[in-house]
Structure 1
Amino acid sequence: VIDFQASNLHVVGYSEPVDRWLSLEELEGHLHSLPELPNAIPYRTSYYTRGWGFCLTETQRRALAPGRYRAVIDSTLAPGRMDWGELVLPGRESGEVLLSTYICHPSMANNELSGPVVTTALAQMLKAMEGRRYTYRILFLPETIGAILYLSRNLETMKRLTVAGFVMTCMGDEGGYSFLESRLGGTLADRAALNVLSSHHPGFARHSYLDRGSDERQYCSPGVDMPVVSVMRSKYHVYPEYHTSLDDMSFISPAGLEGSFETMARILSVIEANRVYTATLPCEPQLGRRGLYPALGTPDTPKITATMRNLLAYADGSHDVLAIAERIGADVLECARIAETLAEAGVLARSG
């Protein structure tokens, strides 16, 4: 009736071995299907409770005739080991940015495959980046238990060094963007992601930590409390195909993956560029003699130099570039570029 070779979703994950004959009535207690999605095979697991079962489409289930059925699952449950992937790219500073994705869901294109694909592309970009400011800790883990085990071995270092973190999942489709904030919000990761999404994808869906469902549950938990968020396309638990055979390669696209990559790359650029600057002079500095102001004033001069002047007005050593950009309504990366120009001219000093 069903065969693991046709779909590895047909067997409930971590089923114990079985080889027995059952009536249809007995078998029904071990079957899982989705009446609302009659052509989808659900993804089900039984990690912590011994049992066994089969997943099939509702259409297949309805076609089962009364009679005797042989249930065979040739599995082995035994002590094993956990593998993960880890890449640490050192930066000029010891502060770390975490990118964490998971490698445990079989046959899930958006919920599973898209995260490692985008994370790998970002890792290649970051590895080639000259003058990386931050160190990047990039992890490929089994969800939940993998993050817990990794934290158990690296908790104190990660708590001390992590300045921002992202759980990378559900990044492959062409749906609208989704954002899941950290436990209390307001972290650098929250602020950078919200700035980019608000500027470039203003229709994004914003979710509170109450809507959590991935490894932010571990990274943001009390006692860990790291600044970790998620930027996604269609969020897990929201799109109907989630955790079913319909979350296949047809659900994602190169354009969806590329859009997620570009969005995350921009967010990381904001984090890299964000600093605190302090004005070195009281009152407004004379910018013209420093080559920073047009020599001839025109009606357009104030508009041309507005971002520079406004940046100087708020560079008091207590507001970072991201906060200033949001206050003056300017692009944060443009503000960062101007701030560096002003620092090189000696009218601003880097203080963070």
Structure 2
Amino acid sequence: MYVAEQSEFNLKELYEELFPLCRSITGPAYEQSLEILKKYVPFTIESFPSGSKVNDWTVPEGWSLNRATLKDSQGNIILDTHQNPLHVLNFSEPFTGKVSFEELKEHLFFDKNNPDAIPYTTSYYKPRWGLNISYKQFQELKDDEYEVCIDTIKDTNGSLKVGICDLKGDSDKIIQISSYLCHPNMLNNELSGPLALVCLYLLLKSLPKRRYSYRFVIHPESIGSIAYLSRFAPELKEKLEYGIQLSCVASPRSKDSVEDQISTISLTSALLSSSEEQDRIEYHKQFYKSFQNSYNHNFLELPVSFKLTRQSYVDSIVYDKKQRSQGKNITAYAKGNYFEKSLNSSHYVSKAVTDLTLDDEQRVEDYLTTCAYYCRYFTLNHLPNCHVYTDPRKDGFMCSFDIDNMLRTLAYSNSERYAVREYAPNHGSDEKQYCSPKLNLKYVQATRTMYASYSSYHSSLDNSDTFSLCSIMDSALEIFDFIRYYEIAKLKPILLNECDPQLGPRGLYPNSNDPESRAKRNNSNGELEVMLYILSLCSSGFTTEEIAEFIDESPLRVSNIIYKLYDTKVLDFSD
């Protein structure tokens, strides 16, 4: 069923509507969540019946939970999914009966390393029943016999559903933004991706003009992207410009841990549908500013980290092989090297997140230092001899895909906002399906607090007490700024006037020559000087990307200035 798009958007309210639902890879809770998202992103639904083959996989039954409880011998309720749906093994078989403690232990899941947390566990493809319990609760179990009631339903007539929404642009080349919607009751490792996807849809919809077409895709993790690719791989092979998989894009709360303050944003404006481009430009400016000002910065300002494509990893191996053949000392890649170092660093991050709420100033300082190390030094340098972490503008190594080279340059020039990571096949999200060797699509992954790097990962502690909802909106803006740069990176700015444009009336240059105006100009972080250098290189056959390289400036800074010049009709673009 089609649900009309909303006239207002409040991310916190959307989160609160989605969070309680016990989602899985199929079933009514997943479908209800998809219907809620459709109020903001008008998805069409692709359905894959249970039992159907999708590549090498089989779509499982539909699954739903009514209630699951564990009672002691006196009838007292110990676990109840009405209190927290994570108490049941996701996709659990139904089971009712009295069992001994020894038998019960075979069906209980807990995490000794995280004793306060209820773990998130699944068994999609092997039938079993089970319950999840915190280790502290488990240690309190003293009875010889317990009563289990797991009221779940498996429907052989179910289906797996994928939501798809296209925003048309001037080109039929597709930039795809995807995320998963199958984990219950978690924020960073579940809802941060879909919520950021909604934000990106609204931001991209507000644009006065789009060079590329944008596709938004929501599906269950792994099996959902496999099913989607079983139908759409041929189209993506032909038309995909690049894709971004959104996963774990929230950031932990900052030291003060103030409440999320998120204001409602209006989604209706006559300017959006105006036939006049200047009206649409004005609407985008208003919307972008409203979006920027709609949340408070109550989170750690960690960079958005992009995992590069599989092809970039292949490129770097080929490059290193060539370097070694020329007698240069390059350290060979070691199987498992990345994952080993990931685990070593994640111990520090996990402890830091656990200690986050403590008042000890030194612990807070240790936390900030650890995150800075992990998200900047580690992600950029965990393999010091790996050339993908250098700026391709200043290095002889170039990746095959533009998306990889642009992200490398971005991370090099804006390290406070962006980082890049090597492709790793042994962990990740749906980018592994899009990047599979036979497809090898131009697909990257965006994250902010990386999966498995924090103590509340896959547990009941992954919630809004630990992570900031505001940081999700901030991540969406960071990703949007990169997308906007990519739109014009290969375009050539051309001036619309034969002589210097008059920048004063456009608000781009002081209208008077006096000490105060000169001081403002000198305190503008050099933006005016950068603008004048950009103008001097327009109409010379150089692309936006090349201009940023020639004047040795951040691509984002250059593109933001070029957009200002475009919006005020100083320049236009040619291919």
Q: TM-score, normalised by structure 1?
A: 0.84
Measure how far apart 1:195 and its partner are. Answer: 4.0
* Alignment partner, residue 422 of structure 2: 208
Between the aligned partners of 1:113 and 1:333, the Cα distance in structure 2 is 28
Match for residue 499 of structure 2 among 290, 311, 320: 290
**What is the one-letter code of the residue matched to 1:98?**
Q
Q: Tell me the residue number matched to 1:183.
A: 310
**Compared CA separation, residues 61 and 235, structure 1 to 2 (3 A):** same
- Number of the residue aligned with 1:282: none
Q: Could you say if the C-alpha distance between residues 154 and 73 of structure 1 is closer, same or farther in structure 2, counting changes exceeding 3 Å?
A: same
1:277 Cα offset (Å): 4.0
Q: Is the partner of 1:82 in helix, strand or coil?
A: strand
CA deviation string 1:50-93 (max 9, x = no partner): 11111110000000114011222112223211122211011011
| Comparing 73-82 and 327-336, the one that deviates more | 327-336
Q: Which moved more, 1:125-134 or 1:170-179?
A: 170-179
2:155 is equivalent to residue 78 of structure 1? yes
1:321 lines up with 2:399 in the alignment: no
What are the ranges of 5 or more consecutive residues in structure 2 without an aligned counterpart?
Answer: 1-77, 252-298, 313-398, 504-525
SS at the partner of 1:65?
coil
Query: What is aligned with 2:190?
Result: 112
Matched with 1:274 is: 489
Q: Give me the CA root mean square deviation.
A: 3.2
1:1-352 to 2 correspondences below 5 Å: 1-79=78-156, 80-173=158-251, 174-175=299-300, 176-177=302-303, 178-185=305-312, 186=399, 187-202=401-416, 206-210=420-424, 212-277=427-492, 290-291=499-500, 305-308=532-535, 315=542, 320-322=543-545, 324-326=547-549, 328-333=551-556, 335-336=558-559, 350-351=574-575
Question: Deviation at 1:231?
Answer: 2.0
Change (3 A) 1:338 1:142: closer
Change (3 A) 1:272 1:203: closer
CA-to-aligned-CA distance 1:131-158 (integer Å, 9 cap, x gap): 1111000011111111111111111111
Q: What is the distance in 2 between the residues matched to 1:25 and 1:251?
A: 35
Aligned residues with identical type, % of pairs: 30
Q: How far off its partner does 1:304 sit?
A: 7.1
Q: Deviations over 1:315-341 (max 9, x none)?
A: 3xxxx5335524542232554565997
Q: Quote how far apart the aligned CAs of 1:253 are.
A: 1.8
Please say which of residues 194-203 and 27-36 is displaced more in the overlay: 194-203
Letter in 1 for 2:308: E
Deviation of 1:109 (Å): 0.6
**Cα drift, residue 101 of structure 1:** 1.0
Distance 1:5 1:162, change over 3 A: same
Alpha-carbon contact 2:308-2:422 (below 8 Å) kept: yes
Q: Bigger CA drift: 267-276 or 248-257?
A: 248-257
2:409 and 2:459 mapped to 1: Cα distance? 33
Q: d(CA) in 1 for partners of 2:80 and 2:230? A: 39
How many pairs were matched up? 333
Whether the 8 Å contact between 1:18 and 1:72 is mirrored in structure 2 is yes
TM-score by length of 2: 0.53
Distance 1:304 1:128 in 2: 25
2:159 is paired with a residue whose SS is coil
8 Å contact from structure 1 (residues 189, 227) kept in 2: yes
Check whether the contact 2:174–2:239 (CA below 8 A) recurs between aligned residues: yes
Q: Describe the SS at the equivalent of 2:166.
A: strand
Checking the alignment, whether the CA contact within 8 Å between 1:311 and 1:335 is kept in structure 2 is: no
Q: Aligned with 2:230: secondary structure?
A: helix
1:164 deviates by: 1.5
List alignment gaps of at least 5 residues for structure 1. 280-287, 295-299
Change (3 A) 1:73 1:207: same
Aligned-partner Cα distance in 2 for 1:188–1:212: 24
Deviation of residue 232 (structure 1)? 1.4
